[in-house]
Amino acid sequence: MIANDNRIYLASGSPRRREILEQLGLNLERIHADIDETVRPGEDAVAYTERLAREKAEAGWQVVASCGLPERPLLAADTTVTQDGEIFGKPQDAADARRMLLAFSGRSHQAITSVAVRRGDKLLVRTSVTDVYFKKLSDAEIQRYIDSGEPFDKAGGYGIQGRAGVFIERIAGSYTGVMGLPVYETALLLAEFGFDLP
């Protein structure tokens, strides 16, 4: 599958990203890479996700170098949701989750995921933008979803692969990108580092 090795570092704690990469046959070693995720003034959603993916990859690579770990590709990613120029991160509480779901109800929004891969001095980034179309949500549907606890660790307050799948009429773009790691773009990036997927 891959010349010599199928091991990469993953600078992400997301179980969804881990699952997608493992399904592609990769062996992962988690690298902890904290960064400041504050949106900068005037920064649009694509610039924001690309910057965060790049900064996570840089921070992760510093950990690899400082710990003297073997050199292999390190992957980082960032996902955000946007609508009408507003960036929706992870909801802070139930009221914030409700605000997000009401904004998406009966309308479209964009799920944006940027992926960065770093090895040595080489760092490449690719971005996936997907249009997501929600049905009109009732107050009861929103409340049940909030009560499930599912919205709180996800950008935009929902996960396409979970219970919120019933809210989504259609998408135009990458299903795995909405999940948090677009497989197509990820494979293109890893190919630049000698990985032949699948």
Phi, psi of 46 (to 5 degrees): -65, -45
The three-state secondary structure class of 192 is coil
Instruction: Give the angle 34-178-144 at the CA atoms, nearest 5°.
Output: 95
Choice among 5, 78, 131, 153 that is catalytic: 78
User: With contact defined as beta carbons under 8 Å apart, do 113 and 77 qualify?
Assistant: yes
Annotated catalytic residue 78: yes
User: With contact defined as beta carbons under 8 Å apart, do 156 and 162 qualify?
Assistant: no
Q: By C-alpha distance, which of 89, 128, 129, 81 is closest to 107? A: 81
Q: Which residues are the active-site residues?
A: 78
